[in-house]
Amino acid sequence: MRHATVLRTGLSALLLLGAWTAAGPSTASAAPVDSANPPASAALLSAMQRDLGLTEAQARTRLADEKAATALEPKAQRAAGSAFGGSWLDAKTGRLTIAVTDAEKAEAVRATGADARLVEHSAKRLDAAKARIDALKAPSGVSSWHVDPATSRVVVNVVAAEQADNDVRAFVAKARKAGPVTVRTTAEAPQTFAAGTVGGDPYYTGNVRCSIGFSVHGGFVTAGHCGGVGQQVRGWDNSYIGNFQGSSFPGNDYAWVNVGSGWWTVPVVLGWGTVPDQLVRGSNEAPVGASICRSGSTTRWHCGRVLAKNETVNYSQGAVHQMTKTSVCAQGGDSGGSFISGDQAQGVTSGGWGNCTSGGETWYQPINEILNRYGLTLHTA
C-alpha cells in the first residue's frame, strides 16, 4: 500500500533514535569502557555500527563518552552562569562543548572538564527569539526551526523548492526581526510517521482481518461482526490504533473504533491504484440503480449498482435488518470496508455471496444509521 514503505522506514528510524537518545549525550573526555557493564545492548551496538559507520569498539566508546557528558553538563552549565549559550557533543573528540558569551566564564567551564567556545548570543536570548518565531504562523514551505548553539543562531529550515514562495519569504523576514536567524534548506517538508485511518485499509482484531469503513471525528466506523466492545484494534503495520467503542451484530452490523496512539482520521477512501484515492465530502444516500464502488483490504476496488434497500439478510449468526444490496463483489477481509458513490459515503461492507472472480452480491449497512446510532460526525474533506 501507498504509505507502507514510508511508515516502516520512519518507524525504524524512530526506534533507532529512541534508543540513541536513551543512551545519553556526550562526554568531556573519552571514558574507559567497563567490559563487565556494557553501555548498551548488542542490538543497539549493531544498529550504531550499521547506521553510524562505527566499529563495535567505537560504538562502545561513544556511548561511554555520552554517559560521562550527561553527568558533566549540569556542572559545566552552572559554571557558565548567565553567559551559557548552549552545549553539544563533539563527535570527533567525544568531548562536551559549552558555548559561553564571556571569556572569564570560559575558563570556569574548562575547569569542570568541558571544552568552551566563545559565542555571540546567550541561550536565554536565542530561546527568546525562537519563542517569538513560535508565535508566527508558518506556511507549509517552512519545515522547522531550532536553536543551534554552535552557530549561536536560530536556524529556520525551508523546503528548497519553496524558498522563493512569497509566504515563505514573508515568514523568514518576520523571523529575522525576532532575533539572530540563519536560513537553511531541506529537500522535503516533514511528515509524521504514523498513518491515518483510510477507508479500505486493513485492521486486525485478534486473528481477524477486516477493513476500515469511514473516518469519523474521533475514530472510524466498520462492521459489527469484526469485533465486540472493548476489543483492541491494530493497524496494517500491527501498531495499536484503539478499541471498539460500540458494536452491534446480528440485528445490525455496525461498529465504531476510537483512534489514538499517533493515528489520526483522514476523509479518504483508498482507490488502490485502480482509481485515485477518493475524498469523502458527505453521506447523501444514492438511489436504487445508482452506480456504487467498494474499497476493501482483500479485493481492493470494485464497482457495481445499488440493487435494493432496507433488505433483511439472514446470516447463520442471525438476521440483519435495513441493509442495502449491491451487485459489487467482495471476499473475506473486505468486511467493514467503504461503499462510496462519487464523493458520498454510503455504508460499510457486511457480507454477501460469490467472489470477485465469478461475481456475486454484497450488502452494506448504511452509513447514516451508524452515525445516528452513536452520535458520530463523518470526517469530510
Residues annotated as part of the active site: 225, 253, 335
CA dist., res. 82 & res. 124, Å (int): 8
62's CB contacts (< 8 A; 6+ apart) are: 26, 48, 54, 91, 94
Q: Which residues of 56-84 are buried (b: 16+ CB within 10 A; e: fewer)?
A: eeebbbbbbbbbbbbebbeebbebbeebb
Which H or E element spans position 138? none
CA dist., res. 62 & res. 25, Å (int): 9
Residue 325 · residue 361 · CB < 8 Å: yes
Cross-strand partners of 248: 254
Helix (H, G, I), strand (E, B) or coil at 172: helix
The CB density around residue 274, as the number of other CB atoms within 10 Å, is 12
Residue 222 · residue 336 · CB < 8 Å: yes
Cell of 220: 472510524
Beta pairing class for 153-159 and 181-186: parallel
Q: Which residue, among 94, 91, 135, has the nearest Cα to 113 in the 3D structure?
A: 94
